[in-house]
Amino acid sequence: MPRITVVELYNYRKWTESLGSDREWIIQFKQSEIHSLLQRLIAKNDGFVLPFRYDYYIILSNTISEKRHEEIYTALYTTLDVPIRMVSLTSKYPFTAQLWATRILAHSHSKFTYIHGEEDPNVIVHIDINDIVRKSYSTSIYEAYVAAVELYHYIVETVSRCGGLASYLGGDNVLAVLPLDSYEDFLDKLPNYVKAGVGISLIPRRAVKLSTEALDAVRAEGRLKKFIILTE
């Protein structure tokens, strides 16, 4: 049961509208600042923030204590211009965890909620498209981007049916977070034009690192395998 933590930028619309009509560039700048701050705080504690909506953040936070979660919440709350709320809980299925966190945010006025639970290893699948650079030059950078978005859409639909989550990392890279009992089925459904690295670890940052090492190994071996699994 991996631990999933959701951070909400509370009253986000009110905050954005307070910036005036010439605000979109400010919003983009502020969002990158918030994501950077949150990623640094979480990475220092061996967690990982999934790139997401930017008004909400989904964090893999196994092994981070309740006290440390609260310290991270306080650091954000006292630094950011916009109020935040945080919910942290565990579930066998990452999709279900974020669903429960959403329900808590919808029906509770609490600024910080931490629910204790057993923490199982994170299963991370790092996926990219074969020969994306060549595709970019032979078509265009925009058409290659569209191909990456289409892959992301496929991964989102497939991983959701497995009870997992997916995140677009930029470029042609997609990250999938899966339950221990369904990641093999997910790997069987990967299209032939991609490769993947799988990392399994109780510590989220380590799982992401292992998935990237595995993906690099697939590439180094000339894509003789579609995927490699590394675990600890």
103 shares its domain with 55: yes
- The mean per-residue pLDDT over the stretch 130-153 comes to 92
pLDDT digits (tens, 9 = 90+) for 116-137: 999 999 999 999 999 888 889 9
- The mean per-residue pLDDT over the stretch 169-197 comes to 94
pLDDT at 13: 87
Q: Does residue 1 carry a pLDDT above 80?
A: no
146 shares its domain with 96: no
Residues of the domain holding 191 = 122-231
Return the CATH number at 150.
3.30.70.270
102 shares its domain with 182: no
pLDDT at 224: 82
132 shares its domain with 192: yes
Of the candidates 64, 92, 114, which is a domain's last residue?
114
- The mean per-residue pLDDT over the stretch 201-229 comes to 94
103 shares its domain with 204: no
108 shares its domain with 147: no
pLDDT digits (tens, 9 = 90+) for 8-27: 999 888 888 888 999 999 99
pLDDT at 51: 86
168 shares its domain with 92: no
Q: Does residue 158 carry a pLDDT above 90?
A: yes
Of the candidates 89, 114, 139, which is a domain's last residue?
114
pLDDT digits (tens, 9 = 90+) for 178-189: 999 999 999 999
110 shares its domain with 126: no
Split into its structural domains, the chain has a count of 2
C-alpha to C-alpha distance for 203 and 63, rounded to whole angstroms:
7
135 shares its domain with 85: no
187 shares its domain with 145: yes
Model confidence pTM above 0.85: yes
143 shares its domain with 74: no
104 shares its domain with 126: no
Return the CATH number at 66.
3.30.70.1230
Of the candidates 79, 114, 149, which is a domain's last residue?
114
